[in-house]
Amino acid sequence: MAMNVVLVNFTEQGIRNIKESPKRAQGFRELCKKSSVTVREVLWLQGPYDMLTIIEGTDEAMTAVLLTMGKLGNVRTLTLRAMDAETIGRVLDKVT
């Protein structure tokens, strides 16, 4: 399974309805569960990004979940492929 770190920014619509953010995060968790995507973490941030999530699943499932969330209009995302120590170790074993 792949792991992604997703940096999230609220849109104008999302920030206007900021008090609904915890409820929307719960909806995100439920959507992920239905899509066989594991949510490792959801964090609200201060700084250039508003939230950070760590999700795990197939590339197709994670992409579908993030596109579904983006379609709702509350957030825009930046997705980064992430690797734990075991995964990077396997990658490094293949480096010549």
User: pLDDT digits over 18-45, tens only?
Assistant: 999 999 999 999 999 999 999 999 999 9
> Which CATH number does the domain housing residue 27 bear?
3.30.70.260
pTM: 0.91
Q: Is 23 helix (H, G, I), strand (E, B) or coil?
A: helix
CA–CA gap between residue 24 and residue 3 (Å, rounded): 21
In the chain, the N- to C-terminal Cα span, in Å, equals 24
Query: Which residue has 């206007």 as its token pair?
Result: 16
In the block, which residue shows the tokens 């929307």? 24
Q: Which amino acid is at 56?
A: E
Domain range for 54 is: 2-93
**In the chain, how many domains are there?**
1
Residue closest to 7 by CA, chosen among 64, 86, 82: 82
Give per-residue pLDDT as tens, 50-77.
999 999 999 999 999 999 999 999 999 9
- pLDDT value, residue 21: 97
pLDDT the model gives residue 73: 97
